[in-house]
Amino acid sequence: MLSEETKLPLVLSEETKLPLVLSEETKLPLMLSEETKLPLVLSEKTKLLLTLSDETKLQLVLSETIKWLTVLGETIKLPLVLGEVNKLPLILSEETTAKS
């Protein structure tokens, strides 16, 4: 699990295209393959809700301060690599409330 102190500055191009670039201070390899072709939607307030498919049993929630709250499945470990094999839909919602 990631510490709440882990701050992740997100850098996206104006057209919101991959790859997703994280700051060097993040020290967390989060790689998105170009073949993944994941749709990314960011809200103006940077309130992000990352939801992956049920098969991964993985949910990533970002708060206003861009801190990571992670709920990991048994087989899911960091660094998180999204590639062609995973075939995971990446959904970023404007809401921060996680549905349980």
Cα 91 to Cα 8, 29, 94, distances in angstroms:
18, 19, 10
Count how many domains the chain has.
Answer: 1
**Is residue 22, in this structure, part of any structural domain at all?**
yes
Whether this prediction's pTM lies above 0.85 is answered by: no
> What is the average pLDDT score of the chain?
40
**Confidence category of residue 24, pLDDT binned at 50, 70, 90:** very low
**Is residue 99, in this structure, part of any structural domain at all?**
no
**Is residue 84, in this structure, part of any structural domain at all?**
yes
* Nearby residues of 75 by Cβ (< 8 Å), 6 or more positions away: none
**Is residue 100, in this structure, part of any structural domain at all?**
no
Residue whose C-alpha is closest to residue 49's, from 3, 18, 100, 94: 94
Structure confidence by residue, pLDDT tens digits, 77-88: 334 444 444 444
Structure confidence by residue, pLDDT tens digits, 42-66: 333 333 334 443 333 333 433 332 3
Q: Report the distance separating Cα 72 and Cα 77, nearest Å.
A: 7
